Amino acid sequence: MPDGDIVHPTLSARYNSVYKQLCDGAFDEGALAHEALLCLKKDLQAFGDAPIHLIFQEADLFTAIAIRMQNGQEINWAQERRNILELKRFVDGPKRALGLVVKTCEQQILLLQKEQQYVGMVSDFSLEIMKGYLTNVYDAQFAKKAAQTRGLYRPVDLHTLQQTLGEMRPHVLRGIHFFAEQVLHKGTMQQLRRPRRAPIKKIDLEQDLNRDLSDLLR
């Protein structure tokens, strides 16, 4: 297939290589995830740093909610959801990116309301929201689109494709955590580095053969 041809009707072109490998039946989930993280990195850099500023403001809002909950105060959850949306009005940036920050905060506040899982963990709000935002970008830009259709590249078993995406996900999430910590430390998306891939263990055929023979002779 010549470069530039459409391989999927809705995917960004930068994900073409990963998607082609998925359709071709690539089974190295770590390698696929590493390449997907490069695409995600470029998406995040294209979206810019405005989402970071919004995330910090939203984290302050969550911190205030958690403190009130710890003090036994009643929370008006509908009002807090309106506050999440209101903060977005004061940040200038790509609507899609800021919308994904808001989506992340809506997911987080639902967890807080139902499970109260962040009470006592106030310092984690910035990290949790940042990781949620990066994950939502990955899902919106690649994972959900790739999993919903067979695309135009070649016929592929959708179940197998979705299974491979699922097996990639732990690797991707580890990379996202690595990205999130960098962003919080540096305050920008422009200096992101991917985590190093685990080295592939070289196979010593002679050593393995001798070990197998010795096992058989025991």
Would the pLDDT of 46 be above 60?
Answer: yes
* Neighbouring residues of 77: CB distance < 8 A, sequence distance ≥ 6: 109, 113
Query: What's the pTM?
Result: 0.84
* Cα(189)–Cα(84) distance, integer angstroms: 22
Tokens at 70, concatenated? 């710890």
Confidence of residue 210 (pLDDT cuts 50, 70, 90): low
State which of 11-15, 17-21, 167-171 shows the largest mean pLDDT: 167-171
* Cα(161)–Cα(16) distance, integer angstroms: 14
pLDDT tens per residue, range 67-122: 888 888 999 999 999 999 999 999 999 999 999 999 999 999 998 888 765 555 55
CB 140 within 8 A of CB 112: no
Domain ranges of the chain: 13-186
Would the pLDDT of 213 be above 50?
Answer: no
pLDDT tens per residue, range 151-184: 555 666 778 888 999 999 999 999 999 999 999 9
Q: For residue 168, count CB atoms less than 10 angstroms from its CB and return exposed for 0-12, middle for 13-18, buried for 19 or more.
A: buried
Among candidate residues 121, 123, 137, the one with its CA nearest the CA of residue 179: 137
Tokens at 66, concatenated? 């958690």
pLDDT tens per residue, range 116-154: 655 555 558 999 999 999 999 999 999 999 887 655 556
CA-based max dimension of the chain: 74
Tokens at 107, concatenated? 């997911």
Q: At what angle do helices 29-47 and 16-23 cross, to 10 degrees?
A: 160
Percentage of residues in the chain with pLDDT exceeding 70? 80
What integer pLDDT is reported at residue 160 of this predicted model? 84
Q: Which letter, b or e, does each residue of 118-144 get, where b requires 16 or more Cβ atoms within 10 Å of its Cβ? A: beeebeebbbbbbbbbbbbbbbbbbbe
Among candidate residues 35, 10, 19, the one with its CA nearest the CA of residue 172: 35
* Cα(102)–Cα(67) distance, integer angstroms: 21
Confidence of residue 5 (pLDDT cuts 50, 70, 90): low
